Structure 1
Amino acid sequence: MIMEIIRNKRVTIWKKLYLVYSFFFLRKIIVHCFTFSFYCVILPTSVFFPEVNIPAWSTFYIPSMITLCIVIATPRSFYLVIFWILFENVMSMHRTKGTFIGILEKQRVNEWVVTEKLGDALKTKLLPRIGKPSNGFLERVNSKEIMVGIYIFCCACYGLFFGNTLLYLYLFMQAIAFLVSGVGFVGT
């Protein structure tokens, strides 16, 4: 896609650079990697190092401003904002994985299916599923989410017993979001 933008003769070089930087580099690579690495790895790990002081603007003020912008756009869904933020962090793990699979052009690049469209295809898909034995719960388990959820839960417990901040409250909620997603209770 980037090569198609660069080859286009009708667009100026500055607009091409802006599009490649803003859309592809910033929105599709940096944002996903930053969200996952900061909120799901660095922030929980900081509990183990009391001498590390992460500023409040990075852990509270900026996410609060983003949340307020979302609430303004969808006032009827105000009660879902906290859940949305927690599960966006869970999805950032999948987006980061998908980003690296796409950048490295691995064989699994076309394997990541985001949604399944329903309709007439649902009728034909049900027939082969009838004879196939189903494990139910075990088919829904996602080990990556469970591992990250357990790690964040351990960080939250450590922060509760030995920490000097209230960060463990956020970490417990984030761990629950990962574990709920890990056992397949999100989606249809």
Structure 2
Amino acid sequence: MDGVSPKFVLPETFDGVKMEITGQLGMIWELVKGPVIVPLLQLAVYICLLMSLMLLCERVYMGIVIVLVKLFWKKPEKRYKFEPIHDDEELGSSNFPVVLVQIPMFNEREVYKLSIGAASGLSWPSDRLVIQVLDDSTDPTVKQMVEMECQRWASKGINITYQIRENRVGYKAGALKEGLKRSYVKHCEYVVIFDADFQPEPDFLRRSIPFLVHNPNIALVQARWRFVNSDECLLTRMQEMSLDYHFTVEQEVGSSTHAFFGFNGTAGIWRIAAINEAGGWKDRTTVEDMDLAVRASLRGWKFLYLGDLQVKSELPSTFRAFRFQQHRWSCGPANLFRKMVMEIIRNKKVRFWKKVYVIYSFFFLGSGQGAKGNTKGLKKFPRIFKLPDRLNTLELGFAAFLFVCGCYDYAHGKNNYFIYLFLQTMSFFISGLGWIGTYVPS
């Protein structure tokens, strides 16, 4: 016994225990796989097939309706009461309603001059227009530049105010909410919201405000976005195609058929009374625009989309910016659905079929469409290594995972799923290396 070293006894015992545990786990897997795992996977496949069928039906419906709208529907100026607001020598500017313009900003070093200049150039009596620049920037240099730009326009007679907060509670929703608390806002009837990269044409208010003035049941007039950098690279071209469908078809159909459609977060004019009745801006989700639109719709307010009224804007031209934007758009509706589904169901002012349309289009279908971006859900996970900007570790990691799954299916599978897995691996690998169409030729 003295000649036997103890160090050889423990590994042998450990190996025996290891083999026993492995055997038990394998037995449990065989017992669970057939009656539990396989039926769940089959159910998931059927659900995916059902959602694909729903998406196909929705696309066919949208296609039919948009053709009918283009052929037979009247223009908004004929479907709604519309009378242009003209200058009156006797009344002066008193026949123009007081309009508030809000421009939320956050470290907008490159574009702040564009939006402030475009808002200051709106064709509207200066004493009936109030511009708020809501600056949540954390960079002192940017804050100073934005404030100086506001002072420059104020010296030209523009009623523009520069507004900051001590903290960024609520982010964009918090800034918009804080702006509406100012004492002078009580004299304003309507509020226009432009993000920092949006540039309205001078006649924007004259073409939109009359719809709100002469149709008291309309809470929102939404304009279309027009992208000035759509030809910058392949990524921006692809985004333009996707968003053009949204504006040309989805928003147009929703407005023309009086179905619910959402506020796009910018380039829209709200009736302030409707915002207050709906409960104001809330920061409980990342889609404060959809949140407000749903609550206003549940209180019986109507929305109008003007496809001919376009506002210039910019598309994300880098993959990181695009991924962040898509993550926000896809995750926000699902979070809002959990918070509002019972309120929608219990609402008595909205017809049953409109409730179904809201839930389907904006929470199920809308979230599913947003999830098309291949990396948005992954962005929740932290980055462990700091690599060059062109490399995307999340995509590369997921590509490695798919490659392992494909190899396993190639070795043990029977249905050739590895073909699909390897194609997805290539897609994620290419995205991970940054080869996704953001190169801009010089």
Same-fold call, TM cutoff 0.5:
no
TM-score by length of 1: 0.42
Flag the structure with higher helix content: 1
Larger relative CO (CA 8 A, sep 6+): 1 or 2? 1
Based on CA coordinates, which of the two structures has the bigger radius of gyration? 2
TM-score by length of 2: 0.19
